[in-house]
Amino acid sequence: MSSKDEKILIDKPEVKYKPLSPYSVIEGDTATLMCTIIDAYPNTNITWRWIKTDSPNDALYNGPNYTIPNIEREKSGSYSCTASTTVGTSEPATINVDVQCKYKCFKACMKMRISLYDNRKHGI
């Protein structure tokens, strides 16, 4: 094939996300959402959005990893990432984030510890 016959395929990008959805995180912890480009040429820009009815198009962050330190329950919801090139924009990859109450987790963890303690105490 001569250089005249060579073609460069240019297509809009595709993305996927980590961790799996729904993503559960304890209130006060750090949530990290990762967006991976599966296929893209030329270079891409990744944008994260929080899908809310009052502001669905507001960009939160540009980059592959969106970190929410000290997450609050009010930050529960759907987040999406898209990748854009000069050719087009990917379909959004959406992840549902479930911020769980720290108190409920503490209560459940304490029940588990008490149960484990009782089992050990009785030789189970």
59: Cα within 13 Å, side-chain hemisphere: 9
| Enclosing domain of residue 81 | 11-121
Q: Tell me whether residue 4 is in a domain.
A: no
Tell me the per-residue pLDDT of 9-25, one tens digit each, with 9 for 90 and over: 456 677 777 777 788 99
Q: Tell me whether residue 5 is in a domain.
A: no
Q: Tell me whether residue 3 is in a domain.
A: no
Domain containing 90 — which CATH number?
2.60.40.10
- Coil/strand/helix, residue 6: coil
Q: Tell me whether residue 97 is in a domain.
A: yes
Tell me the per-residue pLDDT of 39-78, one tens digit each, with 9 for 90 and over: 766 667 899 999 876 766 688 899 999 999 999 999 999 9
* DSSP state letter for 29: S
Tally the domains of the chain.
1
**Can you give the pTM of this predicted structure?**
0.69
Of 37, 40, 38, the residue nearest 12 (C-alpha): 40
Q: Tell me whether residue 62 is in a domain.
A: yes
